Each structure stands twice: as structure tokens, then as C-alpha cells.
Amino acid sequence: MHHTQEINLKNAFNCRDLGGYQTRNGLMVQPKRLIRAGYLSDLDINDQRMLYRYGVRTIIDLRSPVEVREYPDHYDWRTQYLKIPILEQDLTESMTNVRNLAGKLTDKRAGFHQMMRIYDQLITSDEVQQAYRQFFLTLLNVNPGGILFHCSTGKDRTGIISILILAMLRVPDETLKTDYLRSNRFSAVRINNRLNEAKLASNNLAYLKSIFDLSTVREDYFQQAISMINDRYGGFDSYFHDQLGLDEAFLLQIRNKFLA
């Protein structure tokens, strides 16, 4: 069963519940426990109340310190808010280099190559792995209720975290990919806005293609992450144990908490 419950917020996007996905051994990810999203800095009071009514009791902000400072989250005052930056700077949304080359960029795959490098870093970087460890340890120590985690667009940092948590819960690989790629559908309006802004800046095809590749998720990016985990680290279990320092007893606690 491929289930995604979109949470329709007026001033946010790509906000959805990971509950309902089936595991390889017949269990199900509990609804209203793990919610993924893009930025929450535009939420009005109605959006904030909707998330609280949905059951969100903890927000984990994966963004860099600069992003948090410039675009602080808006959330119900009863919600616990935690910051666990995956990277000290946001490489996934940083298009400064590409934008500066709007008129003279010639490589149509510049954005694609940048994303492939970023996905490599999102798996192999020591800084990133330490942040993942902190994130997973935090899952067991927060207030009871739903946990919402997010970055700026909810597609790359949030996407990798979602892949890891679903793999930890033994959700099949095909479902991991399905959930990852759904970011394009749930971010369609934002992607179109980004492309329209780019067209106003330049009609350079290499530039526009790079903006598209930076603004979307692709099966190539997903496969880059999975290949790094499998080829360099020997699979998810080895990655969890050896790179993130999470033993089997911890993984069992995670499964007991989030599976039904």
C-alpha cells in the first residue's frame, strides 16, 4: 500500500504524513507520528492550529543557522521546537553560482551535477552523519505525539532523512523511492514559480535547465544516495550501525515506537 496523507496548509507545501506505509514484514508506519515538510516560516495562525490539531507536538528544523535566522518557523506555542542542522550552509537551495551565470552558463547539466555532488555529501559527510545520529536519538526523547521534520523545500535533506527513517522501519526500497519522488507533485506550484522567476532573469536554456534540476527531485538523485549507502557502506544496516553508531537495540526501539 502506497499511502501519503497530504496536510493541506494554506501557506506551506510538501507537508505530508509518512504514516500508512507497509513494511516488509506486514506492519504499518503509524499515522500522525512522522510528518515531513518544507519551510514553515509563512504559516499563519490557522495553519499553526491545523498542525497542532493534526497531532504535531514536536518540530525538528533541519535547516542551516542562516536559514533559521532569516526565515524563522511559525508554529503553535504549545509545540516543542528543536534545531538539528544537517549542514552549516544550505547547499541544496543555494543557487548563487548558477544565478550569477544566468546569461553565460553553457553546461545544461550544471544544476544536475551540483545536485549529484550534494547527494554524495548528504550520505558521506562526517558532519551530516553526526546530525543524522542526533536526529534519530532525538526521536526517542521528544514529547509524546507527532514529530514534524523539515528543511527549506522538504525534498533533499528532508528527503534523505525520510529515506533513512523508512529504511530503518523496514519499508521496501520501492516505497522509499515512491515517497521521495512525490516531492515533485506536492511542490508543483513552487517549482513552477521558480521556473517562471528564472525565465524573467534569462532565456538561457542551460540556466533554465539547471534551475529545474535544482528545484526538483529525480530518480538519479535517489539512486545516487542508495548507491553510496550500498556500495560504500554495505547497505542500510551497516550504515546505521557503523556510520551513525545506532545499534540493533536502538533500531528496535524506533520500530516499536513508530510501527503498528
In degrees, to the nearest 5, what angle opens at C-alpha 254 toward C-alphas 27 and 79?
110
* Domains, in order of start, for the chain: 5-258 (3.90.190.10)
Residue 228 is classified by DSSP as I
Per-residue pLDDT reduced to its tens digit, 47-60: 999 999 999 999 99
Per-residue pLDDT reduced to its tens digit, 127-181: 999 999 999 999 999 999 999 999 999 999 999 999 999 999 999 999 999 999 9
CB–CB of 204/103 below 8 Å?
yes
SS3 label, residue 28:
strand
| Distance set, CA 97 to CA 67, 80, 114, 123, 210 (Å) | 18, 36, 10, 23, 11
| pTM for the model | 0.94
Please give the pLDDT value at position 1: 40
